[in-house]
Structure 1
Amino acid sequence: MASVIDTARADPPESSEELPLRRRLIRFGGSRLGGLILVLNLASLLILLGGALALNEWRTGLVEARQESLLGQAELLSKVLSDEDYTRGEPVPELNRDQSAKVLIDRFVPQGQRARIFDRDGVLLVDSFDVSDTIEGEPLPPARPAGTPAPPDTGTDKAADTLETANIALEDEILAALAGDPQTTVRRSENGERVVSVSLPIRHVQQVLGVLTLEANDVDQILDAQRRALIPFALVALAVNLLASLLLHLFVARPVMRLSAAADQVRLQRARAISLPDLEDRRDEIGDLARSLESMTDTLSTRMDAIERFAADVSHEIKNPLTSIRSALETLDLVQDKDKRDRLTAVLQQDVRRLDRLITDISNASRLDAELSRDRPRPVDLSALLTDIVGVYETTSKPGEAPVTLELAVDGAARVMGRDGPLGQVFRNLIDNARSFSPAGATVRVSVIRDDVDALPLHVRVEDDGPGIPSENLETVFERFYTSRPRGAAFGSNSGLGLSIVRQIVEAHGGRVTAANRLDASGAILGALFEVALPAVGRRV
């Protein structure tokens, strides 16, 4: 049954050892597509991580810079306020409120900063907002249409809580400064804003006269600006992720969906093989998958055709002895002569033996693929295997049968990756075939040689002294049910599957088997030669 789709057999994927250095460098873990996905995802993560780290660094540096700046200003003002021109009272001095207020007016207090002076009891003496033109306020809410009821005032309690919390934090800061320790904190103001606050004790000699507090409320504004500066980083990271998702969809998801649809077509028997040339030309994992699926379905299609031909051949081969048996049985009742009846009975027995041999060989051939797939390859020493096989022939040889000799022309062990059971069947079939064609007094010779020039260096040769093989049948002998026995051989003693099984097993081990004739100097045929070439250990099977 011919395939309805003519597909080209895809080349096998390159191994990692065969990849050029340049191609391996641009791959991650042997995967070019995996490297692309990794780079894109890492790029987006690094962008976000870099932006987040930069923001944290700016925030920490900003607070520390503002604290250092306020601390320098506070130290300068505290030294001025500790001068006797700004104190009064003997023998216990205290801060002069009016003179201290002039300091806050005369000394420059930048916009966005607030300076307050407290006495030794923590009572507020001067506030820069009171002695300057600074007026704190908030934007008015949007105008409401006439008749619209006023929204409920939900911020009163929250504002009261914020003010109470701010006063408690400021009071703690002042008390700590009155104890003689300078304070630098980040707290909430009465308006709920984040402020950087510095409180320093005002000293006259060693006596603490009060506390100077400087605040800067521009931290939130600067942080908001920094957060706005992070938005481009986030947008770039989002764009990279979207691009990565798009690439994954275009180069991975859609091709896999197409391969799945093609596989469904094969499953529904609308096609015999998957063929997607645009995917097979890709040099990444999707291309490898497409080529593998095409090769697999093409192999399955070929296997189905082979099974169909095998079934037809089996049917034809079985019908021959069955037809002979039926004819003999129909004739047996009509024959009265005893000798003729005995000859018919002998024909029946011969056909039954032939049918039994044929069914046995067919069963072995049909189980061969399953046995090869279940048995895991392992190193097999051909020298030891052939020594054991030839030893069995030597001990079980009967008079008149051709003896078998072995010659090992290799140094050390001749190891191949394979399965010792099927390999043993290969050599037994070849030896049995050679013995069946050998005349009386002839010898079957088995030899093992190594040819390192050949890609399959281990060669096993089986030679006989028989009539040889017609030149036009050197390939035909490996076909199923082909047999050409010498004159006088028992009819039906061979099914014609032995050499076909040999080729099937050898090719499953990555080798080859050939047939040739041995010739003398004049070109006369001396016998047949079968040669099996197998890969040595270390080569891929």
Structure 2
Amino acid sequence: MADGNERSIPGRAMRWRLSHRILGVNLIILLVLALALLFLDSFRNQLRDERRSQTGSLAELAATAVPKIGEEDVPLLLKDIGNATGARVRLYAADGTLRYDSWRGSQPSYRLRDPSTQGRGKEAARALDRAFNFIVGERSLADFAEPAVDRVESWPEARQALSSGQTVAEVRNAPDMTPVLSAASRTTRGEVVLVTANDRNFTRTVRQERTKLAAGLLAAALFSFLLSFFLARTIARPLRRLALAAHRVRLGRSREVNVPRFNRRKDEIGLLARAVSDMSQALRQRMDSLDAFAADVTHELKNPLASLRSAIDGLDRIEDPALRCQLFDVVRQDVRRLDRLIGDIGEAARTDAELARAAFEPVDLGSLVGQICSGWEQRRLTGDVRIAFARPRAASAIVMAEPGRLARAIDNLVDNAVSFSPAGGLVEVAVSAVGDDILIRIEDEGPGVPAAAREAIFNRFVSVRPDSDDFGRHSGLGLAIARAIVKGHDGEIDVTDRDDAPSGARFTIRLPAAPAPVEGAVA
């Protein structure tokens, strides 16, 4: 059977479970980080390809222009190209020797910087560059260095351009990890133009984009922190409160524990809190009941034990056979009383546990009650008290029950009625269907039950009996066991005076009828 709180929760309220929230937080952070890395890597690669293509186009332009101008104009052309683009332009003869250099006789258009002369800020930036390259799996670029002998053979891209006739571009790292772009192209006369440039703007642009992404990641981290704080308040703190309450219950101080219920929460935390609270209350009630039951058992056992001890002690001092016989009768009665009391105590202690594990089945109360009444008559335990049973129509009183336990509850009520009936009295038992309920009425002709005691008689060890020995001795557990069994079947039991006789009590058991008649019901 589902919990009532769980049935009351609408489907919309349960849509965002705690697992969804936690998973959402993790996915947001991972997604933002992955997108940032992918964007920055793609941006850098695209920008690098554009700059390499521009350098190659510049080398092709120079290689096309050199054969078309006079020899005396070539140095000036190379210097103009270098000054306009910030590159260094060199022309190698067909034999591989260097003929012209745009830096010859003028200021260099760029300078490679020594990292040891730069501050810690640049060193931190380079450390971030290396970390980023490692994360995205970027292959390491070759280090750029000017050759000791400046010939075509000293430049791999120049040799390849000379042999293939195609423009070849390369990217290398300067000492400070800024890119050095180089491109070589062959002229129609077999010469080679080599263009090199230290593109510091490339590094600056990439680092600016990285700074923007870092700011975005910082904002995402802040958002994640706030969201985690929210989840901590909505998950960790309530769970900690529940854990502390459960710990106090484990330490045996359940009566002092006030377990929070979180009634406004409709997620798993709310369900857990209400379940733990209900469990704590049930445990508290069970502990109180066990304490009271133990105290009642102790009290009830003292009386027959005291009587038994007194009788046994008297046997040693009394020589009169008649008095000794009376004492032996007292001993036998006290032993029988203890035996019945211990049996009823065991029955009362097992009732709740057995009902919790019982498998209910369709039961025809007409047949079940008929067998109980027949059993009393066959065993002739009623003395001269008669039992009359008004049997209902077949299969008209079907309930879902555990037959053995329900039979014990009815048998206890019949036993109670017989014990209170006067000599020659009549106990009437009837079963009837009233609406959606099945009623079992057990009526006797005894003195009845006082109005003030009609609730108390269903408590353990409570019995409202005259002092006369004609009524026998009982443990006071029969009606308590009967009520526990009836409640375990979702039923009710009460007692009233008879309205059709001068005296007597009427016990009524009300049980819910089975949803529909079932073929082959068992009794």
Q: Same fold (TM over 0.5)?
A: yes
1:501 aligns with 2:476: no
Aligned partner (choices 349, 352, 365) of residue 335 of structure 2? 352
Equivalences for 1:59-458 in 2 at 5 Å?
A: 59-81=44-66, 84-86=67-69, 98-107=72-81, 110-130=84-104, 133=107, 134-136=109-111, 138=113, 163=145, 171-178=155-162, 179-189=164-174, 193-203=178-188, 208-213=190-195, 215=197, 217-218=199-200, 219-247=202-230, 250-254=233-237, 256-257=239-240, 272-275=255-258, 280=262, 283=265, 291-329=274-312, 334=318, 336=320, 338=322, 342-369=325-352, 371=354, 375=357, 378=359, 380-383=360-363, 398=378, 400=380, 402=387, 415=400, 420=402, 424-434=404-414, 436-437=416-417, 444-446=429-431, 451=436
Contact 2:5 2:271 in 1 (8 A): no
Distance 1:303 1:80, change over 3 A: same
Q: Deviations over 1:451-472 (max 9, x none)?
A: 2xxxxxxx45332242385344
Contact 1:118 1:126 in 2 (8 A): yes
Distance 1:132 1:354, change over 3 A: same
Contact 1:201 1:209 in 2 (8 A): yes
Distance 1:136 1:68, change over 3 A: closer
User: Displacement of 1:309 after TM fit?
Assistant: 1.9
Distance 1:220 1:514, change over 3 A: same
Separation (CA, whole Å) in 2 of partners of 1:77 and 1:224: 32
Equivalent position SS for 2:378? coil
- The alignment's TM-score, normalised by the length of structure 1, stands at 0.69
Contact 1:114 1:216 in 2 (8 A): no
Equivalent position SS for 1:463? strand
Equivalent position SS for 2:255? coil
User: Displacement of 1:296 after TM fit?
Assistant: 4.0
Aligned-pair Cα RMSD in Å: 4.7
User: Displacement of 1:271 after TM fit?
Assistant: 7.5
User: Displacement of 1:299 after TM fit?
Assistant: 3.7
1:20 aligns with 2:1: no
- The alignment's TM-score, normalised by the length of structure 2, stands at 0.71
Gaps of 5+ in 1: 1-11, 88-95, 144-159, 452-458
1:532 aligns with 2:506: no
1:491 aligns with 2:472: yes
Letter matched to residue 239 of structure 1: L
Equivalences for 1:504-519 in 2 at 5 Å?
A: 504-507=484-487, 509=488, 511-517=490-496
User: Displacement of 1:515 after TM fit?
Assistant: 1.7
Moved more, 321-330 or 44-53: 321-330
User: Displacement of 1:353 after TM fit?
Assistant: 1.0
User: Displacement of 1:232 after TM fit?
Assistant: 0.5
User: Displacement of 1:489 after TM fit?
Assistant: 6.1
Q: How many corresponding residue pairs?
A: 472
Equivalent position SS for 1:529? strand
Letter matched to residue 530 of structure 1: I
Equivalent position SS for 1:20? coil
User: Displacement of 1:61 after TM fit?
Assistant: 1.9
Letter matched to residue 224 of structure 1: R
Identity of aligned residues (%): 29
1:463: which partner in 2? 441
Letter matched to residue 413 of structure 2: N
Letter matched to residue 47 of structure 2: L
Letter matched to residue 46 of structure 2: G
Distance 1:136 1:235, change over 3 A: same
Separation (CA, whole Å) in 2 of partners of 1:140 and 1:431: 101
Contact 2:296 2:461 in 1 (8 A): yes
Separation (CA, whole Å) in 1 of partners of 2:394 and 2:434: 5
User: Displacement of 1:85 after TM fit?
Assistant: 2.2
Moved more, 58-67 or 179-188: 179-188
Gaps of 5+ in 2: 119-141, 517-523
User: Displacement of 1:356 after TM fit?
Assistant: 0.3
